[in-house]
Chain A
């Protein structure tokens, strides 16, 4: 199976006094169609990893390929990824939801007519049709989160990078978001997803693989069952409990309770 995301010794040191090594050399392979959840406390390097893969941050060293394309081919890479990050601060608040999506659809190269159809499709999928004419500034955080997902899906990217998309959402809105994401993935076989979240319960049912980052280092990588067994933890019937156990054991009890 081909790799959706492949990294080889990818690392990042932010310049400064002193320099900050946000990501230590990281090699990983995410297969096409895989759904991977990245866990870790704040400051673990998750956002740096997402931003490098989204071509927003330049890695200090190492290599990465997305859908077989090296990161340096940034324009081509961006065509193949959909990114959700900080949904609250990434829209034109004076414009309505549809106008925002229309602008980004032009950026992705959707043709006239196709853009309207795709936007309608996504508004319906993400239960935003009724809100399409409302200025983004008047939407709730949960609605903006779903709108950010709609934007990320406009060009049907094969790879989704979702960096804490539920960060500013209340538990209900976060669950709604992840339920809708799950629905999209069920309808879109072959989509690869890398998602970071602290909403373990909501993401557990469709999490196929877990990456745990701590202080910029990858400290665990595997399917939830594998990680439970290798850490001598009991495998329960509840995917949410299993994920919580992994998080508690490998990241820390305080982090679990904090989120």
Chain B
């Protein structure tokens, strides 16, 4: 039988999905440009806010050398990347449902989590580039990244993205099943912005919210990234952060993948895969 010799190669499929989404993104050139501009504006806004706050060292910003601009720059630069790990998978499923391509892809001889993972590759690479752009803009505006330990920062970002992807898969499962209302992502994203240390240190929050921040991988990731990029922390020094993030990933990833399998099965029972 002609089909017997065929076996889908996972790296080739992931690359094909990446190439597909990159080509689609290229066809929306204006959106490309506008998103880049939004990066510039966001950095500029926080630069002037930090000027307003004054240059005096703030003890709560210790891991940013006391400078608010340096502190918030790391938060902004990585928040978009983490946010994509959280909401990108659900977004990809929703888009495929709306455009009608989900069923056409579901008939391919590959698993649903693999298709969903592939669909977030290009957005993740793009968000990573944005992270670099944020950091470069920050340096141009005076952020102090001279002694940054880039390898340590990349390790933290990778592990954090994996851990957060577990939550992102759960959000995708909800969209697969209920079509709308990515509640997990909304709640976690809003909570992250408030408590994880994106815009201000969690230490200024009331104790219950500080406790909540400890339940989010983003909190550890952002603290570790500030140590690596602003305080030149070595790999040894960030090992505890890496261990915590690995722990989150080990728990959340299987849960997220399981949630997608379960939701896909339920959608097959309801016959609702093509609905949106």
What is the interface of chain A, defined by CB distance below 8 A to chain B?
A: 12, 14-15, 22, 48, 51, 54-58, 67, 75-76, 78-81, 83, 85-86, 88-95, 99, 102-104, 106-110, 112, 135, 151, 155-158
Contact = CB atoms under 8 A, between A and B. Distances in A.
A99 B12 CA distance: 15
Contacts of B105: 107
B16 A103 contact: yes
B268 A56 contact: yes
Contacts of B27: 94-95, 135
A14 B3 contact: no
B269 A99 contact: no
Given A106-B13, A107-B105, A156 B3 contact: yes
Interface in B1-43: 1-3, 6-9, 12-13, 15-17, 19-20, 23-24, 27-28
A56 B107 contact: yes
Contact of A56 (B6, B103, B110): B103
B9 to A, nearest CB: 7
Contact of A155 (B6, B99, B273): B6
Nearest to B110: A107
Interface string B101-114: 10111111111000
Nearest to B103: A56
Interface residues of B, number: 37
A78 B6 CA distance: 12
Contact of B109 (A94, A109, A151): A109
Nearest to A152: B107
B110 A75 contact: yes
A88 B24 CA distance: 18
A176 to B, nearest CB: 22
A138 to B, nearest CB: 12
B180 interface: no
B100 interface: yes
A156 B8 contact: no
A92 B109 contact: no
B271 interface: yes
Contacts of A106: 8-9, 12-13, 15-16
A37 to B, nearest CB: 21
A90 B104 contact: yes
Chain B CB count within 10 A is highest, among A54, A78, A92, for A92
A19 to B, nearest CB: 11
Main DSSP-derived SS at the B contact region: helix
Nearest to B114: A107
A156 to B, nearest CB: 4
Contacts of A90: 100-101, 103-104
A78 B109 contact: yes
A78 B100 contact: no
A58 B20 contact: no
A107 B101 contact: no
B271 A158 contact: no
A89 to B, nearest CB: 3
A217 to B, nearest CB: 18
Contacts of B100: 86, 88-90
A147 B110 CA distance: 21
Nearest to B100: A89
Contacts of A85: 103
Contacts of B110: 75, 107
A91 B12 contact: no
**Residue among B17, B20, B110 having the largest count of chain A Cβ atoms under 10 Å:** B20
9 contacts: A56-B268, A79-B109, A86-B274, A88-B100, A93-B99, A104-B108, A107-B105, A107-B108, A109-B9
Nearest to A137: B27
A237 B245 CA distance: 75
Contacts of B17: 103
Contact of A80 (B1, B15, B273): B1
Nearest to B269: A58
Contacts of B104: 90-91, 104, 151
B16 A102 contact: yes
A94 B24 contact: yes
Contacts of A55: 107, 268
Contacts of B270: 14-15
A89 B99 contact: yes
A56 B265 contact: no
Interface in B191-215: none
B8 to A, nearest CB: 4
Given A89-B99, A110-B6, A14 B107 contact: no
